[in-house]
């Protein structure tokens, strides 16, 4: 699952993830509310979530909520500044990617998560 309010990042990440046969994008959402509504249907094992989501729930809050309710789901925080990485890890993220991301960075994140 990909959650980012910026369509070009959602679609760019979807295109990168399509190169990895072990990854299937089950949903792509623009905000946390939409993602939470799709959780049961999409059944993600991995969620890429933007730090700065619009609405009542931001990326850190979404990460903490998912970590609490679905502890087996891995979360990768998408952010533009690595200074948020520590907060992301404290909220329950397994990894973070800096925007704009490239295929090699996504591959590194997937490898790190598989190693968890």
Residue 56's pLDDT is 85
* CATH number for the domain whose boundaries are 2-100: 3.40.50.2300
List the chain pLDDT tens, one digit each, 116 residues: 999 999 999 999 999 999 998 899 999 999 999 999 999 899 999 999 999 999 889 999 999 999 999 999 999 999 988 888 888 889 999 999 999 999 999 999 999 998 75
Domains of the chain, residue spans = 2-100
Q: Which residues contact 100 (CB under 8 A, 6 or more apart)?
A: 9, 12
> Taking the model in full, what pTM does it have?
0.94
């Amino acid at each position: 699952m990909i959650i980012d309010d910026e369509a070009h990042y959602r679609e760019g990440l979807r295109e990168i993830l399509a190169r990895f046969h072990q990854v299937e994008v089950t949903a792509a959402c623009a905000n946390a509310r939409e993602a939470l509504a799709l959780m049961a249907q999409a059944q993600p094992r991995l969620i890429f979530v933007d730090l700065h989501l619009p609405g009542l729930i931001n990326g850190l809050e979404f990460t903490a909520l998912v970590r609490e309710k679905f502890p087996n789901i891995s979360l990768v925080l998408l952010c533009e500044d690595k200074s948020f990485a520590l907060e992301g890890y404290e909220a329950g993220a397994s990894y973070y990617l800096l925007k704009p991301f490239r295929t090699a960075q996504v591959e590194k994140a997937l490898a790190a998560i598989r190693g968890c």
